Amino acid sequence: MRIGQSIDIHPLKEGRDLILGGVKIPYEYGLDGHSDADVLVHTISECILGALALGDLGSHFPDTDPRYRGISSILLLEEVKKKMFRHQYRIGNIDATILAEKPKMAPYIEQMRINIANALECSTEAISIKATRGEKLGFVGRKEGIVAMSVCLLEENK
């Protein structure tokens, strides 16, 4: 067994789509970044890489590489899954939390779980996603950005 954890933060920006867990969420702002800036999928990808002791997401998919400009983070997660499989591991479980003042995440969480489980070739029962607000505190509460945190347990593929 291996355990990984990660946190990711992206600022909100006008004129961008808000993509979380591979779901396009209707909102007046989106997350700013080189790819689609899916902070949830980024943190899940990076916690898997961390569990495998393979470094961070940027070392595999640098924001200086034009190939990754605007790319779906779900595609990056699928590449991380391939690395995980090559190292003979599979998902035991993932527990992730989104911190966002707005919009409400509850209507989209089940589809996020499905998208992530499909990308990782695991059961949705292995994927937990929760959301909480900033309660008007800090940059999350002021609606300046969104944070996601995750932990994963990888099991050996025998």
Percent of the chain scoring above 90 in pLDDT:
87
For residue 58, say whether it is annotated as part of any ligand binding site: yes
* Average pLDDT estimate for 119-144: 95
For residue 10, say whether it is annotated as part of any ligand binding site: yes
Number of domains in the chain: 1
pLDDT digits (tens, 9 = 90+) for 18-44: 999 999 999 999 999 989 999 999 999
For residue 30, which amino acid is it? G
Give the pTM: 0.95
Residue with tokens 């400009």, as numbered in its chain: 69
Distance CA 96, CA 107 (A): 16
For residue 35, say whether it is annotated as part of any ligand binding site: yes
Distance CA 119, CA 113 (A): 10
Range of the domain at 10: 2-156
Bridge partners of residue 128, in order along the sequence: 95
Q: Please give the radius of gyration of the chain, using alpha carbons only, rounded to the nearest integer.
A: 15
pLDDT at 65: 83
Distance CA 158, CA 74 (A): 26
Residue with tokens 């591991």, as numbered in its chain: 89
For residue 42, say whether it is annotated as part of any ligand binding site: yes
pLDDT at 158 > cutoff 80 = no
pLDDT at 58: 86
- Name the pairing type of β-strands 29-31 and 127-132: unpaired
For residue 32, say whether it is annotated as part of any ligand binding site: no
pLDDT at 106 > cutoff 90 = yes
For residue 125, say whether it is annotated as part of any ligand binding site: no
pLDDT at 70: 83
Distance CA 156, CA 16 (A): 39
Q: In whole angstroms, what separates CA 29 from the centre of its chain?
A: 18
CATH number at residue 46: 3.30.1330.50
pLDDT at 63: 85
